[in-house]
Amino acid sequence: MKILLEASLGIGDAVTFSPMVRRLKRAYPDAKLGIMSRHGGFLASTKLAGVDEVLVARRPRDYLRIVAEFWDLLLMPGYHRSTNGISNTLAYRLLYHAFPARRRITLGDLDAPAYRDYNRVDVYLEMVRRIGLSVTAEDRTLFLPFDIDHVGKPLAAIVSDSGFVGYRVAVIHIGSKHGYTTRDWPIPRWTSLLHHLWRQHGLLPVFIGAKDDEQRTTALLHALDIPSVDRTAKLSLAETAAVIRDADLFISTNSGPMWIAAALGKPQLAICGPSKPSWDPLNAAGVILRQRIDRPRCDPPCDARSCFYGDCRCMDEIDAAAAIDAVERLLQAGDRSLPREAPSSEAGAQAGLSGAWVPAR
């Protein structure tokens, strides 16, 4: 049996379709599963669990090569007409009918009322149901679709090499999907939140991210007057996941690393403004912050790269106090708010710190 799934290949995409892949492989262990991506993505060359072939269609001749192969089952989750527009919606429908397949399944317009409360994971699993397979609550469990067991403990090395022996760590990703400036949370809010975590809980911020995140991360580092470690654009995908795995807390906007934290079940705060609720991370140990804005293009969230109104209120109106309250709840729920022994004065001296940096009690 040959199954073709149409999906993007970003980190979040791969995490959300992995439960579906796992269910399909359980039902059809000998099936060949291919992922067709129209634009490639971050994971185009990564070996993903359960995926036998990745087909990237960047040029017309790539499509000709893909449609030349016959598939037993074609799975195309659907589109958001509100954000894809008429032309992209029509192109999606044409692509759906162009593939030679014995059976085709799509949910169509994901903005329809029937899918309003569906997480992206549920969208993929709904296609599994339409094949005729049963789906249980356990099938919604996230996992990383790539291996990180071989990486070791990069976070421990990062903290130790920086001289911060004995500190707990909050891993921070302030970036977002490339080009989506609407998802940027204001630097002063980040500053207030991170100052609180350091002074009240001794949580050392360690920054991660891609090359695109360097400028904003640097701006935040200049605004901080507490210790921090910057590993932006210095970690591989597996190292990034291992760093998140070993953190005490993870905080981000809506991004690929957000889904890594969700798949690992880490205590996390996701600051989500314009991103659609269907892309909220499935994580029992997570808190999602979103500010509802009562405007035609803001409710439901637009998921746009740039703000139609030019003010990004959905992010700007999420204040630092709300974020601080959220992390306090996370820390208390995980019994992580109890103070640990303060790092040694020798470690502080090696880091260039004075006694003023000792975590508040």
Spatial strand order of the sheet with 101-106 comes to 53-56, 32-37, 2-6, 71-76, 101-106
pLDDT for 212 beyond 80: yes
Domain ranges of the chain: 2-140, 154-357
* String of DSSP letters for 132-156: T----GGGG----SS--TTS--HHH
Same fold, 2-140 and 154-357: yes
Q: What is the CATH code for 2-140?
A: 3.40.50.2000
The b/e string for 88-110 (b: 16+ C-beta within 10 A; e otherwise) is: ebeebeebbeebebeeebbbbbb
Write the pLDDT tens digit of every residue in 95-138.
Answer: 888 888 999 999 999 989 999 899 999 999 999 999 999 999 99
Q: Would you place residue 337 in the very low, low, confident or very high pLDDT band (cuts 50, 70, 90)?
A: very low
Query: What's the CATH class of domain 154-357?
Result: alpha beta
Question: Which residue bears the tokens 């795995």?
Answer: 245
pTM: 0.89
pLDDT at 68 (0 to 100): 81
